[in-house]
């Protein structure tokens, strides 16, 4: 890819994307530029990847063909106001923050821009992310292909209509936190049964990883896969019945609704 990719903000998610891009050899380190609030962060990423760094957001933004706004939702207004007169008119602007709408980006820049709203998740840090993308009408199919290539460096990427974006944090953006809680609970059960903590985490995490791959690679319905584990009169069906009695599914659905409502509230502000 013959593009310069800039990051305004260089936290964990930005670093995951940078690492994935370079590991995939999509661009070379000299094509990546980053700015950050602290010199310590800039020094760290420069030493790790030999990318270019800038102490000024304006300097990072004006060189970009593709610009990531890798900042918190409430920081977008001030940062956009700072850089909006410095960006290339053909630059693709990508936000990775929850609740930042395409219309908010357009209004904040005060002119037509190529804008992409994205929702990656933290497994991107290990190359197993799920990113959902939505673009405004100024983004061409060719532009979108390049954006997809970038996000494919950290896992899988899907394009959806923006009206669906507020639902994404609940199902893929925030859901790793629910899964970590599930893994922790499984591990606690293992410890209670006499296994070591390390053994319990390894067994629980691998079981979750394997189950997820079964869903993705077999194409079978999760209910069918669940039934295959539950032998008649066996231990697994007893566990499943207890999860149902305790409202396992209802709890997950309720948590997702709370997450969705919060994201909608953020979108209302942005």
Strands annotated E in the chain:
5-8, 32-35, 52-54, 66-69, 92-95, 114-119, 129-135, 155-159
Could you give the angle at the alpha carbon of 172 between the alpha carbons of 171 and 176, nearest 5°? 105
Q: Is 29 annotated as a binding residue?
A: no
Distances in Å between the Cα of 65 and the Cα atoms of 61, 76, 148, 257 are: 9, 19, 15, 37
Q: Is 94 annotated as a binding residue?
A: no
**Residue 223, C-beta contacts closer than 8 angstroms, at least 6 positions apart:** none
d(CA 73, CA 66): 19
pLDDT for 267 equals: 77
- The CATH 3.40.50.720 domain(s) of the chain lie at 5-163
pLDDT along the chain (270 residues), means of 10: 96 96 96 95 96 96 97 94 95 94 95 96 95 97 97 97 92 95 98 98 98 97 98 97 97 96 81
Identify any residues that bridge with 172 across adjacent strands, giving them in sequence order. Answer: none
- The CATH 1.10.3730.10 domain(s) of the chain lie at 173-269
Q: Is 71 annotated as a binding residue?
A: yes
Q: What is the pTM of this model?
A: 0.90
Q: Is 72 annotated as a binding residue?
A: yes
3-state secondary structure of 86: coil
pLDDT for 185 equals: 98
Q: How many helices (H) and strands (E) does the chain have?
A: 12, 8
Q: Is 57 annotated as a binding residue?
A: yes
Q: CATH fold of 5-163, please? A: Rossmann fold (3.40.50)
Q: What is the CATH number of domain 173-269?
A: 1.10.3730.10
């Amino acid at each position: 890819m013959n593009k310069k990719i800039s990051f305004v903000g260089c936290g964990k998610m930005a670093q995951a994307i940078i690492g994935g891009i370079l590991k995939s050899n999509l661009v070379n380190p000299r094509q990546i530029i980053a700015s950050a609030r602290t010199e310590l962060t800039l020094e760290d990423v420069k030493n790790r990847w030999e990318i270019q760094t800038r102490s000024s957001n304006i300097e990072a933004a004006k060189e970009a063909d593709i610009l990531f706004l890798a900042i918190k939702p409430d920081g977008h207004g001030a940062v956009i106001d700072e850089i909006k007169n410095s960006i290339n008119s053909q630059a693709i602007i990508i936000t990775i923050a929850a609740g930042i709408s395409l219309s908010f980006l357009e209004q904040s820049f005060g002119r037509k821009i190529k804008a992409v709203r994205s929702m990656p998740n933290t497994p991107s840090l290990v190359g197993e992310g799920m990113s959902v993308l939505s673009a405004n009408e100024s983004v061409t199919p060719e532009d979108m292909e390049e954006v997809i290539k970038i996000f494919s460096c950290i896992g899988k990427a899907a394009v959806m209509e923006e009206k669906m974006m507020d639902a994404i944090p609940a199902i893929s953006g925030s859901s790793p936190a629910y899964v970590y809680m599930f893994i922790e609970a499984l591990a606690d059960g293992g410890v209670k049964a006499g296994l070591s903590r390390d053994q319990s985490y390894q067994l629980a995490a691998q079981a979750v990883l394997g189950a997820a791959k079964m869903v993705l690679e077999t194409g079978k319905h999760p209910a069918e896969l669940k039934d295959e584990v539950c032998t008649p009169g066996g231990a697994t069906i007893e566990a499943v019945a207890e999860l149902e009695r305790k409202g396992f599914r209802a709890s997950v659905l309720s948590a997702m609704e709370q997450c969705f409502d919060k994201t909608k509230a953020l979108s209302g502000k942005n």
